[in-house]
Amino acid sequence: MALLHNRVSNQELKEKLMKENFKRTTISFYRYFPVQNPQEFRDNLYKTLNALNVFGRIYIAKEGINAQISVPTHLMDAFKQALNETEGLANLRLNIAVEDPNGLNDELQQGKSFWVLKIKVREKIVADGIEDPNFSMERKGKYVNAQQMNQLLNDPETVIVDMRNHYEFEVGHFQNAVEIPSDTFREQLPMAVEMLATKKDKNIIMYCTGGIRCEKASAYMLHQGFDKVYHLEGGIINYAKQIKEQGIPAKFIGKNFVFDDRLGERITDDIIAKCHQCGKACDTHTNCKNDGCHLLFIQCNECATAFSGCCSNECKDTIHLPKERQEAIRKGIDKGRNIFNKSSARLRPRLPELIQNGAVSAKLNT
């Protein structure tokens, strides 16, 4: 029986990855379609992709599939053929990363954004909080490509809605986009309906990173009585690819946040965010180097040096303690709250301490 999950340590896998003598391609894709037996589908897909040395994260649910993966470039044809031979996955739109994930010139190091294959069965591929049994993904908004998107954005009767989290919106978004101020999709859906209640006669365009959120959001808006609803096909990732290939002006400004080791693909040279510690123009996300924190936040090079890659003096002091002491401190921490907490607001309670120590400008907008 084939092994249907990984049993090798992450450290060994990372070392093995960096020794590969071939190039990889970073890809994301999703599809809403009925999956009768998610666990069986998951196991069969694992066998198929594991045989092709594919790495990444894939979620399977009764409503479909959502994937962010790394494929050996020389096996791309075999990978596409495998998808086309899998029920429900034929002719998938594949979003291929715009940038080299590691920003490296060495081609052999490109595309190395994942080091293990993880395929999990979930209740939904996007947690939406929708309990209405009459809601269906069969009726959804109209797809728009990059050219159509730009044309609609030139129309004053268009409202463009960003269905991503704040930390994504902060570093890049479409011009004049409406931000739905919540970091959970389940909260954003009813908020979007409420915020746009007086705009039902307008063109409503929903967008997100790869298309999966905005496609469901467009279906929800139609379900709530909106008529002229569109969504950006393939999300920002596909938009960036199309404007580059077709020479279309970019109406997205800044950087597109992505969920692998890169933490961002640059779309334009505009830097619209600020370092969360000093307020300097910066859009580089990083995770706090303290293993008991791992807060995702924006940090400039100067603050990275001053704080040793940490989000506060407290975390900076912690990483210089003996390893045993660090492990003792981490015991009892609610890691669900502290590790990979995506809200930059977690820095706010620490600002008085940082300002007092001269690490943060008092003029930083809190």
Sole residue written with tokens 């590790």: 339
Sole residue written with tokens 């293990």: 116
- Our answer to whether residue 214 is catalytic in this structure is no
Options 208, 275, 282, 303, the catalytic residue = 208
Determine the 3-state secondary structure of 257 from DSSP. coil
Query: What kind and span of H or E run contains 105?
Result: none
Positions of E strands within the chain: 24-32, 55-61, 64-72, 95-96, 117-121, 142-144, 158-162, 172-174, 178-179, 203-207, 229-232, 252-256, 265-266, 285-287, 296-298
Q: What φ, ψ does residue 67 adopt, rounded to 5°? A: -140, 140
Q: Which amino acid makes up residue 242?
A: Q
CA 178/CA 261 separation, integer angstroms: 28
Closest CA to 209 of 240, 178, 242: 240
Catalytic site residues? 208
